[in-house]
Structure 1
Amino acid sequence: MKANVQTQRIAELIKSAKQQFGDFSEVKKQEIFLTIKEAKARGLLRKQPPDRCLSNYVNAANHLLRSYATDEFAAALNQSLDYIYVYVALVGTNSITVTA
């Protein structure tokens, strides 16, 4: 049941993002997913401020983790398509949960 809710929410988010930003790039999606997966394995995903030594994707992930369940979170998702990719990667790596 929880997986269905997550899948449905992600599908809605992707549909909305496509309408707002255009089509997705499979290569970029894979790059961001692998970056977030590696960052999680290395313990780099934390609720910390931006660090110029980390990639933009890891900084975006940390921003989303820091602002999760706030109004700032929704604003961040509307910033750019990269934030949508990062959010999907965070959900895909069980770094962030989707609630019903």
Structure 2
Amino acid sequence: MTQTKNKHVTELIKFAKERFENFSDAETQEVFLTIKEAKARGLLRKQPPDRCLNQYVNAANYLLRTYSTHEFAEALTKNIDYLYAYIALVATNSITVTA
């Protein structure tokens, strides 16, 4: 399972670098730490945007809310914030990845 998750994260990062020229490994790490902390604090929920939350936590919550819909897939291809958040959600086991 961990191997599948790691492979998926690697593929996502490769896709992100191809899709968005401003994609940053440093930002990926920062978003990961933010999402990890949000998860530990119970801030990851299928809730509408909250202006008191970080943009990436709001993006993660949007993805959790729209998971398995066309809106989810569309968000990943159009907005780099959602892609960063998705990579962090996968890396923190907040979204399940299957082989």
Q: Assess same fold via TM > 0.5.
A: yes
Q: Spell out, residue by residue over 1:36-77, the C-alpha distance to the aligned partner (whole angstroms, 9 max, x if none).
A: 011011100000111111111100000010111111111111
Distance in 1 of aligned mates of 2:10 and 2:33: 20
Matching residue of 2:39: 40
Which residue of structure 1 lines up, in the alignment, with residue 55 of structure 2? 56
* Unmatched tracts of structure 2, length 5 or more: none
Alignment of 1:4-15 (within 5 A): 4-15=3-14
Determine the C-alpha separation between the residues in 1 that align with 2:28 and 2:10: 15
Unaligned runs of 5+ in 1: none
Q: TM (normalized to structure 1)? A: 0.86
Q: Which moved more, 1:2-11 or 1:43-52?
A: 2-11
TM-score (ref. length: structure 2): 0.87
Q: What is the number of residues matched between the two proteins? A: 99
Moved runs in structure 1, 4+ residues, more than 4 A?
Answer: none
**Residue aligned with 1:22, SS:** coil
Partner of 1:77: 76
Residue 28 of structure 1: aligned partner: 27
Identity %: 65
Backbone CA RMSD of aligned residues: 1.6
Q: Aligned letter for 1:44?
A: L
